[in-house]
Amino acid sequence: MRIKGLLFPVLIWFSLLISSCTNTNGTVQVVGQPAEFDQQEALWIIWPQVEHKKGFSTGDVSLAIIKAVARNQKVVLVCADSNMYVSAISFIKDQNIRLNNLSLIVIPSIEYWVRDYGPSFVKTDRGLAVVDFQFDMWGYSDTTDVDSIIDGDFDKKAAKILGISTIYSPLVSEGGNRESNGKGVIMASKWVDQGRNPDWTLEEITAEYKRVLGADKVLWLNKGVYEDDHTFRGPLTLQNGEKAYTAVTTDGHIDEFARFINDSTIVLAYVPEEDLDDPIAQENHRRMEENLALLADATTVDGRAFTVVRIPLPKTMVFSMKPGDSVYDYISTLDYMDGSTFPQGEEVKIIAASSYLNFTITNELVIGQKFWREGMDEGINIRDEQVRALLKELFPNRTVIMIDAIAVNLGGGGIHCITMHQPAM
């Protein structure tokens, strides 16, 4: 009976969506890409299939997001197959969730980072459409890999369910590396996009974003946070001299360090002075100040200077992993560019992909991350509260909630990475 109760809103809501949209033929004219802070129809999230580290539940993080958002906004929960559908229902059935705002659907997937390969919505002269970018598992594979194809087809399947058209792009691009101000400006990391597309010039990538996203200009920033560097580049050196691996990370997605919070304001990460004895923080400081300089002359389409607000990065978050942890098992198979050899069978240190800027914006909420847990340095708790207060100031018309998403961080991303907003029709 519970399953029927969950299925009912799926059938009703999606039938309404499909009846209000039609597949288009021929060329569509892209008007632009709505901003995340614009009105939304729904928030998409994929039910996770794995825990990155044993005992750290990715399902609990997803559930916390669903519970919060579904109070006032529709949530599309996507399951990879019928088994995951049943698993999701078993998590949900005893929770206080508004089922009339929750829809479960099945679309095959391997990963659950829906921000990156999920539907990238744009507005066209014929309504909403989805841009079908190419996907290469964040540079860990290529576009012909089976897993890349399965996840790379996710956006087209989502568009088909919604009854809207897709716009093909040959560019390899992930949603976590694109920010839109909703008024013709896209912000991205050139380090990431050029790394994914070595045969494209920056000018060609810019032109493609203008074509498929309706952008008038692209703000190009450089490298992202150090702990987001590709894992196969080799381990990083911690403050105590130990080596630690990044967590199958993206090589520097923009949503870890620079975000639009309205059409003329950018929040940019910075490193508090008290952290600068940490070599990872030192490198982050260098990179973020370089990005700040790149934003010095940045303007909106109508020539107004952007306001830049700084948000601190958290302290370096380090955990241990061992054989049997899914991230450990994967990174133990990599070839390392620095010539290092993975210590097979031994416990290793993993740096969580932690950032306060990886928040998700919904119609009524901003869902951010807190990092402090019982037994941790109290300075982490103090910074959590400082950022909570800052986000409240920056989003006066939305409620700010902070959740513990370390289970997700240990897989190489955060709250923003596992969600995707669907703009209002």
- Spell out the domains of the chain, with CATH numbers in brackets: 2-423 (3.75.10.10)
Beta partners for residue 218, in sequence order: 186
Please compute the mean of the pLDDT values over residues 204-219 and round it to a whole number. 98
Query: How far apart are alpha carbons 68 and 361 in whole angstroms?
Result: 12
Task: Match 């196969």 to its residue by tokens.
Answer: 232
Please compute the mean of the pLDDT values over residues 339-367 and round it to a whole number. 98
The pLDDT, as a whole number, for residue 94 is 78
CA atoms within 13 A on the CB side of 15: 6
Q: What is the pLDDT of residues 230-252, one digit of tens each?
A: 999 999 999 999 999 999 999 99
Kindly give the pairing relationship between strand 265-270 and strand 307-312: parallel
The pLDDT, as a whole number, for residue 307 is 98
**Cα of 391 vs its chain's centroid, Å:** 18
- At 5, the amino acid letter reads G
Confidence of residue 173 (pLDDT cuts 50, 70, 90): very high
Q: How many CB atoms are located within 10 Å of the residue 168 CB?
A: 11
CA atoms within 13 A on the CB side of 191: 17
**Cα of 202 vs its chain's centroid, Å:** 23
**Cα of 236 vs its chain's centroid, Å:** 23
The pLDDT, as a whole number, for residue 95 is 84
Confidence of residue 26 (pLDDT cuts 50, 70, 90): low
Asked if residue 17 has pLDDT above 70, the reply is no
The pLDDT, as a whole number, for residue 227 is 97
The pLDDT, as a whole number, for residue 7 is 35
Query: How far apart are alpha carbons 365 and 399 in whole angstroms?
Result: 5
The pLDDT, as a whole number, for residue 93 is 84
Query: How far apart are alpha carbons 330 and 334 in whole angstroms?
Result: 7
The pLDDT, as a whole number, for residue 425 is 79
CA neighbor of 370 nearest in space, from 413, 401, 394, 408: 401
Asked if residue 356 has pLDDT above 60, the reply is yes
Confidence of residue 98 (pLDDT cuts 50, 70, 90): confident
Task: Match 């949603």 to its residue by tokens.
Answer: 175
Confidence of residue 99 (pLDDT cuts 50, 70, 90): confident
Q: Would you put residue 339 in left (φ > 0), alpha (ψ -120 to 50) or beta?
A: left
| Distant-in-sequence, close-in-space partners of 396: CB < 8 Å, separation ≥ 6 | none
Asked if residue 69 has pLDDT above 50, the reply is yes
The pLDDT, as a whole number, for residue 20 is 35
Query: How far apart are alpha carbons 324 and 347 in whole angstroms?
Result: 11
